[in-house]
Structure 1
Amino acid sequence: MNRSNRSWLLERDGTIPLYRQIEQQLRQRISNGEWPVGTRLPSQRKLAEQLGVNRSTITQALDELASWGMVEGNKGGGTRVVNNTWNRLAAATIDWDSYVESGAHQPNLPAIRQINEAEYDSSIIRTGTGEPGPDLLPTEHVRRILADTSDEPFLGYEEPKGSLRLREQIVQYAARQGISCSPESILIVSGALQALQLIAVGLLQRPSCIVAEKPSYIQSVRVFQSAGIGVHAVQMDEHGIQINHLQQQITEHQPGLLYTIPTFHNPTGTILSSERRAELLELSSSLSLPLIEDDVYRELWLDEEPPPPLKSQDRQGNILYVGSLSKMMSPGIRVGWIIAPVPVIDRLADIKMQTDYGSSGLSQYVAARWLADGHQEQHQTWVRQQLRTRRARLLAALEQYFGDIAQWNAPAGGFYIWLSLPTNVNVHRLFTLALREQILIHPGYMYDWQASHHIRLSYSYADMKQLEQSIYRLRQLVKQCMNT
């Protein structure tokens, strides 16, 4: 059931007509200020789909509200709230739309907002979701950690840099990746995205810019842009970021730092080659260019271990290293970390304390126990086995249904396959058509506005039988788009 339906209480077999029940609940939302004057209501089509009624039922409900002067249609389409009382003598109300539109943080792309909403509809098949599926999560391990009364969890605020116990575990965990650090150089954050937010507001001047691969996950979120930081793209190929083009972009734009996902890149799955890693480190050193190394996919190698992290070769403190438990253990636990020079960590810890007064102490307790008890190593071995099977099945489905019309590379790890469709396929239209059939894709333009004929597929979340069926149906939809 779609979570957004749960707040609508409709009696299908009741004596009150459905349109009247809907009108009453719409009126309640308007009267209590949930939908203040000036709010654009969801479209009639969307409300009808959400509530499982005919569009004519929604039309009747809105006509009733319009007769009372509470809503009206506008020339630009849609319906807006114009009054929040039963009469037209209402006092002037705040124009919240003007506040919403003038906020500093940029809104998500419309497609991303649709994805964020659709992902909570259990009837939709999620073909691009970048997280472990429910069957890959270590629910029983976590339950045992929480049930163990021999070691009581800490329920208060943690210190600014996060739980010392957890940071000590991360020191050992990082050492196995070749990274030498101390607890003082680690900040616990609520996922890797918060790490980027803290860096954006805490370390960069305004106006300034950063550089990142093209395409890149960083283009699908607005953390840097909303902080007044521009993002310039650097070309990639099958070996990762192109160093020559990076040098050109640095000369032209003088960026404050480089953001990179060198291992199992999101969305392409690419691994930065060892040769280019060496070149990138030399370039960073010679130009004093800081790097953000987003390494959240490292443990998801499926064929062979990738090259060591860039941070493992960093002797000058040029690299801000971002790690997380979201991709292997649990996205819901919201535990990630930054490893960086101590002055940087002190600065970001101060900002984090101003922002949320520290990440969840309970989550940090679970994470520390998870690492200390050796669950991470055991679980990642099992997850890799599962992902190898899923990858093979998705690649087989692509070969069967897309072998003659698309291109892709088999990833050596991570979650993603970057599918290149024929150039005459409008992915905007494909996204809409697929969603109507309960198939959710991640269009390439989320990660690069020029990637208009790409989609990101994932083998980590959806039930494999459903995913294979979706690939079959997507071929039909792609063909439909090609013929129009």
Structure 2
Amino acid sequence: NPTGAMLAPDRRGEVLRIAREAGAFVVEDDFVRRLVHEDAGPLPRPLAADDPDGVVVHVSSLTKATSPSFRLSALAARGPVLERLRAIQVVDTFFVPRPLQEAALELVGSPAWPRHLRAISAELKTRRDAMTSALRLDLPELALPHIPSGGYHLWLRLPDGTGGTSRAFGPGGESALASAALRAGVAITPGRPYFSAEPPAGHLRLSFAAVAGVGEITEGVRRLRAACDEVL
């Protein structure tokens, strides 16, 4: 999030090595694992599975694959960091309510759970493909450098802001475009907050989760086209 890209195998080992040598931790927020698209290949193992030293703190959630109101997550760690986190949890939240635990067990232990995940996988691919096709048709000037195989976002790069180009194209123009899109009835996320340093170009994050179907996706991209034309 937001790109939908995965670490290459050699980078996984490098990240663990750097964290270990620096005495740091890696927080692996693996919320998207159950939101894989139907055409995705085999998923990589969690980074925590390759970490014998207790460097990785692995976080996962049932919320995104079930319901926004089903607020249930899991945290996995090893060694001293696990003991520290367990102590913090006892002080901070005490425990997960028993009815919520029982509901989670019943959910993931039911034969309907894998069917549900397969249905999500198929629908996410359909929506991703619909948005990708609509963007290429109506907004070909917005670059889509990576087609994700999981999650519910697309990460777009705006054209470079050179002389004579619209003020909407560049890191400073994202807000103007987002405001125009909102006036057109489409909520998009500017890319600037996702960078820790000055971004190389303007970016947008588009989501295809909170829609009724592919028809709304197509209409949303059409309205985004109108918003781009407004700020040109």
3-state SS in 2 of match to 1:474: helix
Look at both structures and tell me which one has the larger radius of gyration over its CA atoms.
1
- Would the alpha carbon gap of residues 377 and 342 (structure 1) be closer, same or farther in structure 2, given more than 3 Å must change? farther
Residue 277 (structure 1) aligned with residue 12 (structure 2) = yes
Aligned partner of 2:177 among 426, 430, 439: 430
List per-residue Cα deviations over 1:305-348 (Å, max 9, x = no partner).
23211111111121111111112122311100110125433332
Superposed, 1:23-422 pairs within 5 Å as: 266-302=1-37, 303-341=40-78, 343-403=80-140, 405-408=141-144, 409-422=146-159
- State the TM-score, normalized to the length of structure 2: 0.84
The answer to whether the 8 A contact 1:325-1:331 is kept is no
Structure 1 stretches lacking a partner, 5+ long: 1-265
Instruction: State the shift of 1:365 in Å.
Output: 1.5
- State the TM-score, normalized to the length of structure 1: 0.42
- Would the alpha carbon gap of residues 418 and 290 (structure 1) be closer, same or farther in structure 2, given more than 3 Å must change? same
The answer to whether the 8 A contact 1:441-1:456 is kept is yes
Of all paired residues, the percent bearing the same amino acid is: 29
CA distance in 2, matches of 1:268, 1:333: 25
Instruction: State the shift of 1:419 in Å.
Output: 0.9
The answer to whether the 8 A contact 2:178-2:190 is kept is yes
CA distance in 2, matches of 1:448, 1:286: 25
- Would the alpha carbon gap of residues 476 and 465 (structure 1) be closer, same or farther in structure 2, given more than 3 Å must change? same
CA distance in 1, matches of 2:110, 2:178: 43
3-state SS in 2 of match to 1:418: strand
CA distance in 2, matches of 1:346, 1:281: 20
CA distance in 1, matches of 2:20, 2:175: 41
CA distance in 1, matches of 2:55, 2:113: 28
The answer to whether the 8 A contact 2:59-2:75 is kept is yes
CA distance in 1, matches of 2:120, 2:127: 10
Counterpart in the other structure of 2:219: 469
CA distance in 2, matches of 1:481, 1:293: 38
3-state SS in 2 of match to 1:440: coil
Aligned partner of 2:188 among 430, 441, 451: 441
- Would the alpha carbon gap of residues 473 and 293 (structure 1) be closer, same or farther in structure 2, given more than 3 Å must change? same
Aligned length: 216
Structure 2 stretches lacking a partner, 5+ long: 162-166
The answer to whether the 8 A contact 2:147-2:154 is kept is yes
Instruction: State the shift of 1:389 in Å.
Output: 0.9
CA distance in 2, matches of 1:347, 1:307: 28
3-state SS in 2 of match to 1:439: coil
CA distance in 1, matches of 2:26, 2:115: 31
CA distance in 2, matches of 1:417, 1:310: 23
Structure 1 stretch displaced more, 348-357 or 383-392:
348-357
- Would the alpha carbon gap of residues 297 and 397 (structure 1) be closer, same or farther in structure 2, given more than 3 Å must change? same
CA distance in 2, matches of 1:307, 1:382: 21
The answer to whether the 8 A contact 1:285-1:318 is kept is yes
List per-residue Cα deviations over 1:20-66 (Å, max 9, x = no partner).
xxxxxxxxxxxxxxxxxxxxxxxxxxxxxxxxxxxxxxxxxxxxxxx
List per-residue Cα deviations over 1:435-470 (Å, max 9, x = no partner).
223221111123227457211111222122122111
- Would the alpha carbon gap of residues 352 and 282 (structure 1) be closer, same or farther in structure 2, given more than 3 Å must change? closer
CA distance in 2, matches of 1:346, 1:315: 16
2:7 partner amino acid:
L
